[in-house]
Amino acid sequence: MAAVAVLRISGADSGRILAALAGAVPPPRRASLRRLRDARGETLDRALVLWLPGPGSFTGEDGAELHLHGGRAVLDGVSAALVALGARPAEPGEFSRRAFLNGRIDLTEAEGVADLVAAETAAQRRQALAQMEGGLAARLTGWADRLRLLLAACEARIDFPEEAMPEEAEDAAHAEMRVLGAEMQAALAEGARAERLRDGLVFTVAGAPNVGKSSLVNALAGAEIAIVSAMPGTTRDVLETRLDLGGIPVALIDTAGLRETDDPIEAEGVRRARARAASADLVLAVGCPGIAAPAHPDALVIANKIDLGGTVPAGALGVSARTGQGMAELRAALAEAARRLTAAGNPAPLTRARHRAALAEATARLEAAASTDLAELAAEDLRLALRALGRITGMVGVEDLLDTIFRAFCIGK
Ligand code: GDP
């Protein structure tokens, strides 16, 4: 139960419903204290009420906010009164969906709202806020505008073939296509790094039994999460620890000794550990004096138990989970890896697989346009490139996508 519960209503009937509930429609966009009554005149709450007339509201429609006392009975009573007056509960993401359909925000901005609500760490919050505030939309609109100029030039060549276009104009168009294509390629080359920040990274810890993997995970998490035991193979299942590394969420997975075994439960643990480790963003390969770290391409190699003496192999990071020696350096190295893998801080990256797929298509179409001398073909390719970009912002052909996108929102957003 929260101290304050905010009920939002949106739609053409908002004014009528608000007047019936609060006695009258208060002045727009100002908090007013009102007594809310049901149809029989019983007071349900004394609440702050905001009248938010369209088209300047979030959804673009007339709307209102009721800041209620957060009790269950208040919320239930006011909800029932609203329904009796003709309102219905919103579907997940319906406010954002209406804002999109009314042209208040584009699809990437709506996705930014959902990501902001889901953000767990500071870097996720920054990325979501930038997208919600139109960072990605602006980048895409810029590209679309330039494609439209190229298309216009192409169409001029089709419509007026007899007025021979100066050679320079055609060269300039081709140069612009190459520059634009390179910019779009560069955005694609960032790959899934922004998606990784959205979804969180997976790091696994690999190494022979007893090198101190669970001790290391515990030391990193600063809490006793994995069960530490002097007996090999006691970390039975894959254990997952959530870390916040410089604002980036990381699931740290301690693999179960990674050795063959006849115990079916342990064998299942090993199987899962291998599957997760195979798709991990980074592997922490752990060894200790006398036991080499497992060989993994691109692994961060850690030599544990340096308190016992012995030499740290070249390229490895010497630490002691027991004394804490080297742990600050290890944390820093992990945070740096997380930053490198996610490109946190990039102003307007593509945060979803659907963005990348559409941009890849647009880029391929632009390349096709650049490689033909036939104006008709080039124009068609440019049109298809524009359509592909338009699918990202929701300008074209996304009806089938809307349910998938907005269903993932929470109620009230
Ligand atoms: P795992 O099987 O790789 O997960 O290893 P554990 O974390 O269970 O540790 C195995 C044993 O090594 C335990 O007895 C730990 O107390 C010990 N150990 C772990 N880290 C260190 C360390 O840095 N120094 C020393 N001396 N012992 C350690």
Tell me, what CATH number does 290's domain have? 3.40.50.300
Question: Do 291 and 220 belong together in one domain?
Answer: yes
In a domain, 266, yes or no: yes
Amino acid (one-letter) located at 265: I
- For the chain, the residue count is 413
In a domain, 413, yes or no: no
pLDDT digits (tens, 9 = 90+) for 347-372: 788 999 999 999 999 999 999 999 98
pLDDT in the model for residue 141:
93
pLDDT digits (tens, 9 = 90+) for 287-339: 999 999 988 888 999 999 999 988 889 899 999 999 999 999 999 999 999 99
Contact 181, 370 (CB under 8 A): yes
Q: Whose CA is nearest to atom 2 of ligand 1?
A: 210
Question: Do 228 and 337 belong together in one domain?
Answer: yes
Question: Do 189 and 243 belong together in one domain?
Answer: no
pLDDT in the model for residue 270:
65
Instruction: Provide, rounded to the nearest whole percent, the portion of the chain with pLDDT above 90.
Output: 57
Residue 270, domain extent: 202-342
| 214 Cβ closer than 6 Å to some ligand 1 atom | yes
* pTM for the predicted model, two decimal places: 0.75
Question: Ligand 1 centre and the CA of 305: distance in Å?
Answer: 7
Question: Do 12 and 85 belong together in one domain?
Answer: yes
Token readout for 33 is: 């204290």
Query: Mapping DSSP to helix (H, G, I), strand (E, B) and coil, where does residue 54 land?
Result: coil
CB atoms within 10 A of CB 40: 6
In a domain, 411, yes or no: no
| 133 Cβ closer than 6 Å to some ligand 1 atom | no
pLDDT digits (tens, 9 = 90+) for 267-282: 776 676 667 667 889 9
| 212 Cβ closer than 6 Å to some ligand 1 atom | yes
Question: Ligand 1 centre and the CA of 212: distance in Å?
Answer: 4
pLDDT in the model for residue 397:
63
pLDDT in the model for residue 238:
44
pLDDT in the model for residue 144:
94
Question: Ligand 1 centre and the CA of 289: distance in Å?
Answer: 11
Token readout for 258 is: 């990674």
Question: Ligand 1 centre and the CA of 260: distance in Å?
Answer: 20
pLDDT digits (tens, 9 = 90+) for 19-53: 999 999 999 999 999 999 999 999 999 999 999 99
- φ/ψ of residue 143, rounded to 5: -65, -45
Average pLDDT, the chain: 87
| 256 Cβ closer than 6 Å to some ligand 1 atom | no
Question: Tokens 């001398």 sit at which residue?
Answer: 373
Rounded to the nearest 10 degrees, how much is the dihedral formed by the CA atoms of 268, 274, 277, 279?
-100
Asked if the model's pLDDT at residue 189 lies above 90, the reply is no
Question: How far apart, in whole angstroms, are the C-alpha atoms of residue 233 and residue 303?
Answer: 20
* CATH classification at residue 122: 1.20.120.430
Q: What is 176-245 written as a DSSP string?
A: HHHHHHHHHHHHHHTTTHHHHHHH-EEEEEE-STTSSHHHHHHHHHTS--SPP-SSTT---S-EEEEEEE
Mean pLDDT over 172-177 rounds to 90
Q: Which of 4-18, 114-128, 148-162 has the lowest mean pLDDT?
A: 148-162
Greater confidence (163 vs 149) lies with 149
Task: Write the CB contacts of 262 (distance below 8 Å, at least 6 apart in sequence).
Answer: none
Question: Do 210 and 283 belong together in one domain?
Answer: yes
Number of domains in the chain: 3
| 43 Cβ closer than 6 Å to some ligand 1 atom | no
pLDDT in the model for residue 164:
66
* CATH classification at residue 61: 3.30.1360.120
Domain end point (choices 342, 371, 386): 342
pLDDT band at 264 (very low <50, low <70, confident <90, very high): confident
- φ/ψ of residue 331, rounded to 5: -60, -45
Question: Which of 204, 210, 239 to probe ligand 1 with, by most ligand atoms within 8 A of CB?
Answer: 210
pLDDT digits (tens, 9 = 90+) for 107-121: 999 999 999 998 888
Ligand 1 atom at minimum distance from 218 CA: 7
Contact 89, 22 (CB under 8 A): no
| 206 Cβ closer than 6 Å to some ligand 1 atom | no
